[in-house]
Structure 1
Amino acid sequence: MHSVESIITEVIEPKAMEVDRYGVYPRAAMEALGKAGLLGLLSARDVGGRGEGLRAAATMVEQVGTACGSSGMVLCMHFCGAAVIEQHGPRDIREAIAAGRHVTTLALSEAGSRSHFWAPVSTALAVPEEGTVRLDAEKSWATSAGQADSYVWSSKPVEAKGMSTLWLVLGNAHGLSFPVAFDGMGLRGNSSSPIVARDVRVPRSAMLGKDGGGFDIMMGNVLPHFQVLGSACYLGIMEAATRKAAAHVTKTRLLHTGQSLADLATIRAYLARMRMKTDLVRGLIRDTLDALESKREDAQMRVLEVKAAVGELAPEVTELGMRVCGGAAYRKEVGIERHFRDARAVTVMSPTTDLLYDFIGKAMTGMPLFD
Structure 2
Amino acid sequence: MTTVDPLPPPVPVVAPPYHTPEREELQTRARRFAAERVLPVANELDPVKGEIPRSLLDEMADEGWFGITVDREHGGMGLGAFEYCMVAEELARAWMSVGSIIARAQGAGTGVSDPTRRAELLRRSAKGQWIGAIALSEPDAGSDLAGVATRAVRDGDEFVVTGRKRWTGNAKAADFIQVLVRTADPGPDEKRSAGLATLLVEKERDGFPEGITGSPIDKIGYHGFVTWDLEFDGFRVPVANQIGTAGFADAQKWLNIARVHTAARAVGLARAAVEDCIVYLQDREQFEHPIGDFQAVRFTLANMAARVEQARAFYQHVAHLIDLGQPCEREAAMVKLMATEMAAEVTGDGIQLHGGNGYTTEHQVERHWRDARLTTIFEGTSEIQRKIIADRLLPRSPLG
Give me the TM-score of the superposition, normalised by structure 1. 0.89
Aligned to 1:117: 145
Q: 1:265 aligns with which of 274, 287, 295?
A: 295
Moved more, 345-354 or 155-164: 155-164
1:31 aligns with 2:58: yes
Is the CA contact 1:312–1:347 (under 8 Å) kept in the aligned structure 2?
A: yes
1:279 aligns with 2:309: yes
Aligned to 1:46: 73
1:363 aligns with 2:392: yes
How far off is 1:3 after superposition? 4.8
| SS of equivalent residue, structure 2 residue 282 | helix
Q: 1:244 aligns with which of 272, 276, 297?
A: 276
Aligned pair count reads 356
Is the CA contact 2:198–2:247 (under 8 Å) kept in the aligned structure 1?
A: yes
1:103 aligns with 2:131: yes
Question: Considering only aligned residues, what root-mean-square deviation do their CA atoms show, in Å?
Answer: 2.3
How far off is 1:310 after superposition? 2.2
1:142 aligns with 2:142: no
Q: Distance in 2 between matches of 1:248 and 1:19?
A: 23
1:177 aligns with 2:202: no
Aligned to 2:259: 227
Is the CA contact 2:65–2:102 (under 8 Å) kept in the aligned structure 1?
A: no
> After superposition, what is the alpha-carbon deviation per residue over 1:91-149, rounded to whole angstroms, capped at 9, x for unaligned?
22222111221212311111121222354211111111xx2111122111111121111
Which amino acid letter does the alignment assign opposite residue 227 of structure 1? R
Q: Distance in 1 between matches of 2:112 and 2:355?
A: 48
Percent identical across equivalent pairs?
A: 21
Q: Show structure 1 runs of 5+ residues with no match.
A: none
Is the CA contact 1:186–1:343 (under 8 Å) kept in the aligned structure 2?
A: no
Aligned to 1:75: 102
Is the CA contact 2:70–2:77 (under 8 Å) kept in the aligned structure 1?
A: yes
Aligned to 1:291: 321
CA pair 313-87 structure 1, distance change in 2 beyond 3 A: farther
Q: Distance in 2 between matches of 1:108 and 1:147?
A: 17
How far off is 1:203 after superposition? 0.9
Q: Distance in 1 between matches of 2:362 and 2:56?
A: 20
Q: Distance in 1 between matches of 2:66 and 2:396?
A: 38
Q: 2:285 aligns with which of 253, 267, 279?
A: 253
| SS of equivalent residue, structure 2 residue 234 | strand
How far off is 1:182 after superposition? 3.2
Which amino acid letter does the alignment assign opposite residue 290 of structure 1? H
CA pair 21-223 structure 1, distance change in 2 beyond 3 A: same
Q: 2:197 aligns with which of 134, 148, 165?
A: 165
| SS of equivalent residue, structure 1 residue 85 | coil
How far off is 1:90 after superposition? 2.3
> After superposition, what is the alpha-carbon deviation per residue over 1:46-85, rounded to whole angstroms, capped at 9, x for unaligned?
2222211111110111111000122222233444xx3463
Q: Distance in 1 between matches of 2:111 and 2:82?
A: 16
Is the CA contact 1:76–1:230 (under 8 Å) kept in the aligned structure 2?
A: no
How far off is 1:296 after superposition? 4.7
Is the CA contact 1:250–1:261 (under 8 Å) kept in the aligned structure 2?
A: yes
Q: 1:216 aligns with which of 238, 249, 253?
A: 249
How far off is 1:37 after superposition? 2.9
CA pair 78-119 structure 1, distance change in 2 beyond 3 A: farther
Q: Distance in 2 between matches of 1:139 and 1:57?
A: 27
Q: Distance in 1 between matches of 2:155 and 2:65?
A: 38
Aligned to 2:119: 91
| SS of equivalent residue, structure 1 residue 60 | helix
Give me the TM-score of the superposition, normalised by structure 2. 0.83
| SS of equivalent residue, structure 1 residue 226 | helix
The equivalences for 1:309-348 within 5 A come to 309-348=338-377
Which amino acid letter does the alignment assign opposite residue 56 of structure 2? A
| SS of equivalent residue, structure 2 residue 362 | helix
Is the CA contact 2:300–2:349 (under 8 Å) kept in the aligned structure 1?
A: yes
> After superposition, what is the alpha-carbon deviation per residue over 1:301-329, rounded to whole angstroms, capped at 9, x for unaligned?
10111111123211100110011111222
Q: Distance in 1 between matches of 2:202 and 2:313?
A: 37
